[in-house]
A and B are shown apart, each in its own frame.
Chain A
Amino acid sequence: KAGVTQTPRYLIKTRGQQVTLSCSPISGHRSVSWYQQTPGQGLQFLFEYFSETQRNKGNFPGRFSGRQFSNSRSEMNVSTLELGDSALYLCASRAGGSSYNEQFFGPGTRLTVL
Chain B
Amino acid sequence: QKEVEQNSGPLSVPEGAIASLNCTYSDRGSQSFFWYRQYSGKSPELIMFIYSNGDKEDGRFTAQLNKASQYVSLLIRDSQPSDSATYLCAVSIYGGSQGNLIFGKGTKLSVKP
Q: Please tell me which one of the listed residues A44, A102, A106 contacts residue B34 in the complex, with CB atoms under 8 A apart.
A: A102
Count of chain B residues with a beta carbon within 8 Å of a chain A beta carbon: 26
- B96 pairs with A97, CB closer than 8 A: yes
Residues of chain A within 8 A of B81, CB atoms compared: none
B99 touching A56, Cβ below 8 Å: yes
Q: Which of chain A's residues have a CB closer than 8 A to the CB of B32?
A: 99-102
Q: Measured between C-beta atoms, what is the minimum distance from A5 to chain B in Å?
A: 11
Measured as residues with beta carbon below 8 angstroms from the partner, the interface class of chain A is 20 to 34
> Inside 8 A of B103's CB, which chain A residues have their CB?
35, 42-44
Contact A33 B42, beta carbon cutoff 8 Å:
no
The secondary structure that dominates the A interface is strand
- Whose C-beta in chain B lies nearest to the C-beta of A94? B99
- Cβ–Cβ contact B95 & A101, under 8 A: yes
Give Cα distance in the complex from A50 to B94, angstroms. Answer: 15
Knowing A31-B99, A45-B101, A56-B100 touch, does A101 contact B94 (C-beta < 8 A)? yes
Chain B residues whose C-beta falls within 8 Å of the C-beta of A35 in the assembled complex: 103
In the complex, residue of chain B having the shortest beta-carbon distance to the beta carbon of A4: B43
Residues in B with CB closer than 8 Å to A106 are 43
B49 within 8 A of partner (CB): yes
Residues of chain B within 8 A (CB-CB) of A66 are: none
Question: Quick one: closest B residue to A44, CB to CB?
Answer: B103
Contact with A55, one of B95, B99, B102 (Cβ below 8 angstroms): B99
